[in-house]
Amino acid sequence: MENKTILNQLKLAYCPICNYDFAVLKKDPIIQSIIESSSLYIIAQRPEIRFDNINFNYDKLEMEFEIRQFDNPISLQCKLPLFQNNIATNKNKEVLIYLGSNSEITDSKTLPKSNIHCIKLYEDKYIDDNFLIWFSPDKFLYNFWTRQINAVIEGDINKFTEYRVHYVGQSTKQSVWKRLTGHEKLQDILSLEYPFTFGSLPTHEVIILLFTFEDNIQIKSFGEDSSGQEMMDFFMGKTMPHKETIYLDAEKALINAMNPKYNDKLFQNYPKSSDGLYNYNYKSILYTFVDPITLVYKEGCVKGSRLFPGGDTIVITDNENIELVKQNQ
C-alpha cells in the first residue's frame, strides 16, 4: 500500500432547505445552477425555527430580529443592515419587506412581528423584477457564516444547526434536484416521521442538506526510487480520482458511519467497493465537514467546523479500519 492520503472536505452547496421550500425552489433555474455541483445529499430533521420580534431601525436602516426554535431555550439576537453588497446598494430607492409565515398572518405590515419563516426584500415595488434577496432562518445563518452578507448575531448559532440524519444518498448520474423530485425515501420520511414539535408539519421540519467538495487534497511521500514523471503526475493532479468516484465513496463512508434509518443498504463491508476509493490503495482516507453543522445519529454525532481542515473526521486507514476522530481530541 502506498504512503498516500486523501483529505475530502465536504461543504454545503446551498443553505439547509426544508422540504416545503425545496418544492418551490427546485423549479428556479438560478437555484438549479447553484446546486448543480452537488452530488451528495442528506435528508434530516430538526425542530422548526423562526424569526421573532422583527422590527426595523430607521436610524441605522437595518432589520432587528430574533431567531428561535421550538424546545430550544436559546435565542439569537440579530441585526441585518439592508444596504450592503448582495442586498440593496441604492439608498435612493426604498427597500420593501415581505414577511411570510407557515401560519396565517392577519397583518403583515405592522411591526414588530413574530412567528415568521420567510423574509423577502424588494426594491421600490413588490414585483419579481425588483426582487433583491430572501431569507429563511436557515438561509440567513448560512449566508452569515459563509460571509455572503454582513450581519450581527449574538448567541451560539451551533445550537440551531443540529440535524437528525434519516437518509444519505448520492446523485452522480443526474442533477440532485431531479433525483430528489418524487424521491421514495423522502416521501417515506414525510409520511412516517412524527414532527418534533406538536403542531408542526413534517414538510417544515424535514431538511435537505446538499453537499459538494470544498477541496480534495492528496498527500504523498516520495522515496529515492520515485521518478520525476511520477512526482510531476502527482503534483499536476493526474493521479487524483474522478469526483464521481469520491462522491460514491463518501456516500458509503457516511452511511457506514451513521447507519441512517431509511438507508436499506448500509455498506457493512466498506471500505471495500468496486466503484469507490478502495482500489486506489490510500494509506488514509479522510472525510470532514467545513460548515458549522452537527449531524446527529443514533450512536453519536458528527460536528463540522469552519476552522481548517474541518470538524470531526471520518478516518479510514489501511483500507480496513474506520473511526470517527473528534475535533477536540
What type of residue is 269?
Answer: N
Tell me, what's the pLDDT at 176? 86
DSSP helix/strand/coil, 56:
strand
Beta-bridged to residue 163, according to DSSP, are 295
- From CA 62, how far away is CA 77, in angstroms rounded? 13
- From CA 136, how far away is CA 152, in angstroms rounded? 16
DSSP state of 260: -
Tell me, what's the pLDDT at 329? 52
Residue 287 pLDDT exceeds 80: yes
Q: Choose among 168, 159, 65: nearest CA to 117.
A: 65
Mean pLDDT confidence for 70-92: 95
- From CA 183, how far away is CA 216, in angstroms rounded? 29
| pLDDT digit string, tens, across residues 9-52 | 999 999 999 999 998 888 888 888 888 889 999 999 999 999 99
Q: Choose among 7, 114, 21: nearest CA to 67.
A: 114
Listed range (62-66, 71-75, 210-214, 252-256) with the worst mean pLDDT = 71-75
User: CB neighbours of 199 closer than 8 A, spacing ≥ 6?
Assistant: none
| pLDDT digit string, tens, across residues 232-286 | 767 666 678 999 999 999 999 999 999 999 999 999 999 999 999 999 999 999 9
**Residue boundaries of the structural domains of the chain:** 4-46+161-325, 49-157
Beta-bridged to residue 121, according to DSSP, are 97, 133
Residue 130 pLDDT exceeds 90: yes
Kind and range of the H or E element at 232?
helix 228-235
Give the Å distances, CA to CA, from 311 to 1, 146, 164, 218, 271: 27, 16, 17, 18, 21
Residue 173 pLDDT exceeds 60: yes
Residue 327 pLDDT exceeds 90: no
pTM over 0.85: yes
Q: To the nearest whole percent, how much of the chain has pLDDT over 90?
A: 78
Name which residue leads in pLDDT, 166 or 238. Answer: 166
Count the neighbouring beta carbons within 10 Å of the beta carbon of residue 62: 19
